[in-house]
Amino acid sequence: MSRTTQTAFVTLTSALSLCVALWQPAYGQTAATERHQVNATTVAEGLNFPWGLAFLPNGDALITEKSGSLRRVSPNGAISAPIKGVPDVVYKSQGGLLDVAIDPNFADTPWVYLSYAEADPAGGDGNSTAVARGKLNGNALTDVTVIFRGAPKYKSGAHFGSRLVFSPQGHLFITLGDRYSAMDDAQTLDNHHGKVVRIWPDGSIPKDNPFVRDDGALDAIWSYGHRNVQGAAIHPETGALWTVEHGPKGGDEINIPEAGKNYGWPIATYGVDYDGSVISDQTHAEGTVQPHYYWVPSIATSNMIFYTGDMFPAWQGDALIAALKGAKVARLDLDGERVMHEESLFAELIQQRIRDIAQGPDGAIYLITDDRNGRFIRITNAAE
């Protein structure tokens, strides 16, 4: 390389570095909220479209990458090689490796649960959301078994759901999507599209599920009439399941799904299709349950938690809903189940779509961002 070329190269590299620096999100900075000053710090980066997040008892985090890898991330940010034994996934559009959860009795039964887009085992061109579990042994899953397969297998790359959450009684709730072009299936009980299902952790069906005695219904169904449920959490006081449903253009919803109830989609909605066309002219329909809370316009909800830690005492009991649109978290101030106030958090700090949110063992709030260079971010109280 000549001296002139080398000088030009250095100049260009410096300019590019400056451009990159100007575009980098402002991590490690402090921001004000209505009740707390907060810091955002990047724990790890370079994750490939991370989707789900769960903490192990030792403080490590398990993080899924949509492309099919499950990784362990230590509190100091070290990222493991992909954990072996993860099932094959259909990595297409919205499909891939999705949520991760650990068994409530992990110390005694170290099961890890994964939801993912699964190809048709019979060789057809359809796919569906499936859930498998395996025992975490070092950097591998062993005794991996599929405990749930959504039915039918359907040719689509959209609306898989899906979150995994355990009830206080030990049931496993799995939230699902309507597969987009099969939206009308959300209103019928012979399929899993647009449903919340409830099973035992080994895949067996609870005898008190609402449709087990209905020959025309699938036994795992808990509630129906949902669109694309990508968030779920158990209320810390009531023990009830709350879900966050990704709506169309407008009409993201929070629901408190009860056994056998119909939540309206697509015959009743507060949204319109992405091209502005009308999906339904009804926001209420007989026999359906209204959303507990909804957004118009949409914020593109992902997951939710109820904050119960000590690090942010003024947020205790609040619902925190992560959002893809606006790169923010919506804080809902609750009085019992009633939403009293909404505040937008962290947007000036994150600047990437937020795919998941979790409360860490230390009481901090953790986020993962939906990006090819996805980040694992810790939110702490700046006053501590």
Residues recognised as catalytic:
159
Tokens of residue 304, six digits: 């939710």
DSSP, res 23: H
Spatial separation of the C-alpha atoms in residues 316 and 365, rounded to whole Å: 12
Spatial separation of the C-alpha atoms in residues 135 and 141, rounded to whole Å: 5
Return the amino acid letter for 307. Y
Spatial separation of the C-alpha atoms in residues 384 and 364, rounded to whole Å: 11
Spatial separation of the C-alpha atoms in residues 320 and 382, rounded to whole Å: 19
Query: Tokens 């949409």 appear where?
Result: 298
Alpha helices in 24-161 (DSSP H): none
Whether the CB-CB separation of 234 and 243 falls below 8 Å is answered with: no
Composition of the chain by helix, strand, coil, percent to 5: 10, 40, 50
Q: How far apart are the first and last CA of the chain?
A: 53
